[in-house]
Structure 1
Amino acid sequence: MTYATDRVWEEVAYVAYYLHWDLDKILDLEHPVRNRVITEIGKIHSRSSDD
């Protein structure tokens, strides 16, 4: 199964925006790892928004 290109770009943009990582570094992450990073960023963002 392939992962939708638009979704990959959304993930890359999200990680790049919050962590300031470059494209190659983000794309080198396996999908489950990238997804976990996104989940953790979301948790941090939610906690900081609640403060």
Structure 2
Amino acid sequence: MTYTTARLWEEVVYVAYHLHWPLAEIADLDHRTRTEVIGQIGAINNRLSHGM
């Protein structure tokens, strides 16, 4: 799978914005872990936006 720099930055910034983790730590996560973290953040945001 080709992974663009722009996509990596998008993921890193998303996690940093929500969890306030250092950029280097997020970038060092393997893709699968970073994707799982992003999914969990999205699920939390979804629940919060629907008042659950």
Runs of 4 or more, structure 1, over 4 Å off, are none
The CA deviation at 1:2 is 3.2
1:50 aligned residue: 50
Q: CA RMSD in A?
A: 0.8
Q: Mind listing any 5+ residue stretches in structure 1 that lack a counterpart?
A: none
Residue identity (%): 57
- The residue identity in structure 2 corresponding to 1:3 is Y
Structure 1 distance, partners of 2:24, 2:2, is 19
- The residue identity in structure 2 corresponding to 1:16 is A
1:24 aligned residue: 24
Q: Mind listing any 5+ residue stretches in structure 2 that lack a counterpart?
A: none
**Total equivalences in the alignment:** 51
> TM-score normalized by structure 2?
0.92
Alignment of 1:5-44 (within 5 A): 5-44=5-44
